[in-house]
Structure 1
Amino acid sequence: MADLIRLGSPTPRPLRFLLPGTTTRFRGGGLLVELQTARLTAQLRPTKVVTYRQREPDHPFLDDLLRTEPAPGEVLWIVSWGFDVPRLLRRLRGRPVAYHAHSSGYGFDLPPGIPVLAVSRNTLGYWGDRSPRSPLALVPNALEPMWLERGARPGHGAVAAPGTRRPIDVLVQRRKSSAYVLHQLVPALRARGLRVEVQSGWVEDLVDLFNSATVVLYDSADYWRGRGVSEGFGLPPLEALACGCVVFSSLNHALADTLDPGVLGHQIGAGSLEADLERIAAALADPEAWCADPQALAVLLEGCSERALLERWSAALAAIDGHWDRLAAGAPPLQAPATWRLRWGQRLERGLRLLSRHVPGGTG
């Protein structure tokens, strides 16, 4: 990141984070992350949240800004909302824009020169393959301070004191949970007399809820496979780790970025129901032996702190400003060859090699 900063110091552009709306109609992980990111970047440069589907009294509306914003190149627009991205990029053509990429797999391609701010290595790799000539940066989601300040981290009471027990043995959040967890594993755990809580609906204090649980189960693989897109980051297991919980999780998509099995967490659905029951029972009997490795967890949590993410955003935004300044000065954006062209070119090359082997005087 430091290398990006040394390349120059272009004039920082104010930021405009585009969201369809900010009310409960749009509530979800993507909305919360974008609002948190806008709050973070406001410490670096002027930042506004802009809505484009519904008008809200506290935020400007995209249609109005496109008519009233001064020069098209004076602000940097941040788009993020999945299937809306291609349409928004068309509307913002000719203006500096970057794609804050969470889930991958939506199927669209980016126009040449559009930078990507990926929240996970999984998503970074997806766009590194699909858009290899675009400026790419890794800016993971940040854990809000409440998780690091109140979470029971290693060295800060990560597990309950000997002889004490957290009130919830096993915590499951219903949303995104697989049918296997809800209809097979949870009943089997309860049949063993374990205190299992399946949380659904709104919770006022999630930190307190996670701090009340010994084991947290998170299995989103079926949820995302059914939707055809990826787990963009996977905050719940990270939040549970910050609270000193033993985490059993699926390892799909971005979850594999952080959950090193046996070091930071444990795989759920590891071959058989009996295997899960045995391992969860062992974790409840000796949570300290099953908790995340303290050193590995400390590194992970530090990397997801808002302080660390501010540094990443500062460097990435400086690089993107420089990129758009060069394009505005006339530098053409690099373009990757179309996939069909690469495949046909490679087939032609193989065909010519085979042909040369059967032609007199050929070099095969």
Structure 2
Amino acid sequence: MAPALVRFLVPGTSARFWCGGLSVEQQTARLVENLCPTELVTYRERSVDHPYLDDCLRQDRPDAQVLWVVSWGFDVPGLIHRLKGRRVAYHAHSSQYGFGLPPGVPVLAVSRNTMGYWGDKAPRNPLILVPNALDQTWLDRGDRSVGQRRPIDVLVQARKSSPYVLEQLVPALRQAGLVVEVQAGWVDDLVDLFNRSTVYLYDSAEYWRGRGVTEGFGLPPLEALACGCVVFSSLNHALADHGDPGHTVHQIGCGRLQFDLERIKAAVAVPQRWRPAGDRLEALLRECSEAALLERWRDAFAHLDALEAASGPSLSSPPTWRLRLQQRLVRLQRVVNRLPGWPSR
């Protein structure tokens, strides 16, 4: 049974907050509305279209039938503290922000990578996998045919791309005579841009490593696959969830520049040999569809309801420092036991 109301917290919805995380929360709220009423609630800026967190906390009593979903990186600990006494879940995208979670707060992880992170850091908290979904637009308009040659040989989106791709690989591809589009600004029709491209390059590993957090899910390679592109991608973090080198995608920056160059040229010349097998691709896209995600949320709510019905305190795990101290003490005791004259045990 779904909650009576699910409130997805976002800092705001204006252009100042536009990013993948906001888009995903908006999409998820729209999908979950098929199961129960949902609201986007803002907490940094007021909006005429959405409730404001301070107003909700002042006006509403805690209600176990209302589920509050927090997601926004560094804001998560403060939001959970403000929502103390209310039913809260963490919709976890990127990881490695460094904070911990109180016992009992469920983690709704968008990738296996993120779920594994919290499975290590908070192993007694409820963990549920609810991957992000491709917007239906990509599946409705994505061109997965292998017909006529496309006007753009190689598409690169400048944001998140590595210096290697922008400063070494792109010039080498252009010198080889390929038509390379580096998209840096706003595009009115991104689906059309992908549909006009043969190869798509995505190399975000250094971008995220420099920021100290992870690639939460990695929708662009999936969007490119939905449009029939051959995808060369890094395999960092959540990209490894659906990036299977040589089967769904091909590794970018694989050992040597010349190796990348030759493989991309070959993919542009004969893309059908480099695309995923049709049945493999369709199975992957079905798994990432909104319909599949909706069923996962339905199962998640059933799991959370069963958890709420169970009595007793929430389980917790010792902090890492204590576990490491215990291991050091165990090793120290072993050394002491070997000392001459020390009674063995």
Secondary structure at the counterpart of residue 113 of structure 2 = helix
The corresponding residue for 2:233 is 249
The corresponding residue for 2:199 is 215
The corresponding residue for 1:86 is 77
Counterparts of 2:100 and 2:111, CA distance in 1 = 18
Counterparts of 2:327 and 2:205, CA distance in 1 = 35
Q: Does structure 1 retain, via aligned residues, the 8 Å contact 2:10–2:40?
A: yes
How far has the Cα of 1:68 moved from its partner? 1.3
1:352 aligns with 2:345: no
Q: Which amino acid aligns with 2:329?
A: L
Counterparts of 1:74 and 1:290, CA distance in 2 = 49
Secondary structure at the counterpart of residue 171 of structure 1 = strand
Measured against aligned partners, the alpha-carbon deviations of 1:330-356 in whole angstroms (never above 9, x if no partner) come to x21101011111111122222223333
Counterparts of 2:334 and 2:72, CA distance in 1 = 46
Measured against aligned partners, the alpha-carbon deviations of 1:180-232 in whole angstroms (never above 9, x if no partner) come to 11111111111111111011222111111111000000010111011000000
The corresponding residue for 1:140 is 131
1:44 aligns with 2:28: no
Q: Does structure 2 retain, via aligned residues, the 8 Å contact 1:21–1:53?
A: yes
How far has the Cα of 1:321 moved from its partner? 3.1
1:307 aligns with 2:291: yes
Q: Which amino acid aligns with 1:348?
A: L
Kindly tell me the number of residue pairs found equivalent between the two proteins: 344
The corresponding residue for 1:362 is 344
Q: Does structure 1 retain, via aligned residues, the 8 Å contact 2:35–2:298?
A: yes
How far has the Cα of 1:324 moved from its partner? 3.5
Tell me the C-alpha RMSD between the 2 structures.
Answer: 1.4
Q: Does structure 1 retain, via aligned residues, the 8 Å contact 2:3–2:67?
A: no
Measured against aligned partners, the alpha-carbon deviations of 1:87-122 in whole angstroms (never above 9, x if no partner) come to 101100111000000000100001111100000000
Counterparts of 2:81 and 2:98, CA distance in 1 = 16
The corresponding residue for 1:339 is 320
Counterparts of 2:338 and 2:167, CA distance in 1 = 61
Counterparts of 1:59 and 1:343, CA distance in 2 = 46
Q: Does structure 2 retain, via aligned residues, the 8 Å contact 1:12–1:318?
A: no
Counterparts of 1:103 and 1:263, CA distance in 2 = 25
- 2:59 alignment partner, one of 51, 56, 68: 68
- 2:155 alignment partner, one of 162, 171, 185: 171
Q: Does structure 2 retain, via aligned residues, the 8 Å contact 1:82–1:106?
A: yes
Secondary structure at the counterpart of residue 16 of structure 1 = strand
How far has the Cα of 1:360 moved from its partner? 5.8
Q: Does structure 2 retain, via aligned residues, the 8 Å contact 1:21–1:51?
A: yes
Secondary structure at the counterpart of residue 79 of structure 2 = helix
Counterparts of 2:94 and 2:343, CA distance in 1 = 53
Secondary structure at the counterpart of residue 26 of structure 2 = helix
Counterparts of 1:22 and 1:234, CA distance in 2 = 21
Measured against aligned partners, the alpha-carbon deviations of 1:297-340 in whole angstroms (never above 9, x if no partner) come to 222111111111111001112222333444xx5x2110101111
The corresponding residue for 1:206 is 190
Q: Does structure 2 retain, via aligned residues, the 8 Å contact 1:133–1:334?
A: yes
Unaligned 5+ runs, structure 2: none
TM-score (normalizing by structure 1): 0.92
The corresponding residue for 1:53 is 44
Secondary structure at the counterpart of residue 36 of structure 2 = coil
Counterparts of 1:324 and 1:89, CA distance in 2 = 18
Secondary structure at the counterpart of residue 55 of structure 1 = coil
Counterparts of 1:74 and 1:146, CA distance in 2 = 33
Secondary structure at the counterpart of residue 336 of structure 1 = coil
Unaligned 5+ runs, structure 1: 1-8
Secondary structure at the counterpart of residue 109 of structure 1 = coil
How far has the Cα of 1:361 moved from its partner? 5.5
Measured against aligned partners, the alpha-carbon deviations of 1:6-54 in whole angstroms (never above 9, x if no partner) come to xxx5x63310000000111100100000000000000000100000000
Counterparts of 1:93 and 1:196, CA distance in 2 = 52
How far has the Cα of 1:272 moved from its partner? 1.2
Runs of 4+ with >4 A deviation: none
Counterparts of 2:17 and 2:309, CA distance in 1 = 34
Secondary structure at the counterpart of residue 223 of structure 1 = helix
Counterparts of 1:320 and 1:136, CA distance in 2 = 10
1:24 aligns with 2:15: yes
Measured against aligned partners, the alpha-carbon deviations of 1:144-184 in whole angstroms (never above 9, x if no partner) come to 1111111123xxx1x2x2xx310100000111111111111
Q: Which amino acid aligns with 1:202?
A: W
Measured against aligned partners, the alpha-carbon deviations of 1:256-288 in whole angstroms (never above 9, x if no partner) come to 111100000001111111111101001111101
The corresponding residue for 2:86 is 95
Q: Does structure 1 retain, via aligned residues, the 8 Å contact 2:3–2:65?
A: no
Range with greater deviation from structure 2 (66-75 or 191-200):
66-75
Counterparts of 2:185 and 2:264, CA distance in 1 = 25
Aligned positions of 1:317-336 closer than 5 A: 317-326=301-310, 331-336=312-317
Counterparts of 2:114 and 2:32, CA distance in 1 = 21
